[in-house]
Amino acid sequence: MRKQTRPPEPGVLAKHGTRWNRQWRNLRVRNPQAPFQWYRTDNRSAREWILPDLREMTQGHCAFCDAFPLEDRSTEPIEHFRPKSDPRFYNQAYAWKNLYYCCERCQSNKGEQWDDRLLRPDATDYSFTEYFDFNFRTGMIQPNATAERADQLRAEVTIDLYGLDSDARRRYRKLERRRWRRDRSAINNWAYRDFLQ
């Protein structure tokens, strides 16, 4: 999970976000089973308006596992960090700081779960090495053993909710490292950049 710098809020959210959050909250209060759909303006969905900025923030990588390229560019999930289906967070469904470019695997693994200890890759005090360690032989990601216990717990929660240490992810990291050793082209063209560096 690489450190990211969030760009300024897109104009469409600055203009419509508060109203859209209110509409979503009111809809869910009336019908808690109402499915989420991106609201539209000027013949485009909010998703279409904000996706380029989110993609640019991560250089086209998943904000959480750093997969690249994403499996299916036709879907390109947008992760609601604080779940949009949780009544506590209805007012953040269109909040710029709550939205991340994300792969389907991370998004489906986390689903609508929430834990206050979850790490944000664009937090000002976030640093990969402060929270995580990689085992280059196995491809394993684990909490930094030298970190304070509270930081280790935050790393554990993040690894668990996003499925960052699954067997498949370990295999992909090792495969990507072997490929990287043969072809050291620009780092942004590779998945799992922290692991490679």
Q: Given a cut of 70, is residue 72 above it in pLDDT?
A: no
Place of tokens 């684990």: 142
Is residue 93 within 8 Å of 36, Cβ to Cβ? yes
- Half-sphere exposure for 137 (CA within 13 Å, toward CB): 0
Structure tokens at 140: 């394993």
Prediction pTM value: 0.92
154 located within any domain: yes
166 located within any domain: yes
> What percentage of the chain reaches a pLDDT higher than 70?
97
178 located within any domain: yes
Tell me what pLDDT residue 71 has: 61
Tell me what pLDDT residue 169 has: 94
Place of tokens 């300024």: 8
Structure tokens at 52: 């380029």
Place of tokens 């976030």: 126
4 located within any domain: no
Place of tokens 């067997």: 167
Residue 162 belongs to domain spanning: 11-196
**Helix, strand, coil percent values for the chain (each to nearest 5):** 45, 10, 45
Tell me what pLDDT residue 180 has: 86
- How many other C-beta atoms lie within 10 A of the C-beta of residue 93? 26
71 located within any domain: yes
3 located within any domain: no
Tell me what pLDDT residue 15 has: 97
Q: pLDDT-derived band of residue 138, with 50, 70 and 90 as boundaries?
A: very high
> What integer is the mean pLDDT of 137-150?
96
> What integer is the mean pLDDT of 106-125?
96
Is residue 4 within 8 Å of 60, Cβ to Cβ? no
Q: Higher model confidence: residue 122 or residue 137?
A: 122
Tell me what pLDDT residue 38 has: 96
> What percentage of the chain reaches a pLDDT higher than 90?
82
Q: Given a cut of 70, is residue 101 above it in pLDDT?
A: yes
Q: Look at the chain and report how many structural domains it folds into.
A: 1
> Which residue stretches of 58-127 are H helix?
104-110
123 located within any domain: yes
Tell me the three state secondary structure of residue 131: helix
Q: How far apart are CA 67 and CA 162, in angstroms?
A: 12
135 located within any domain: yes
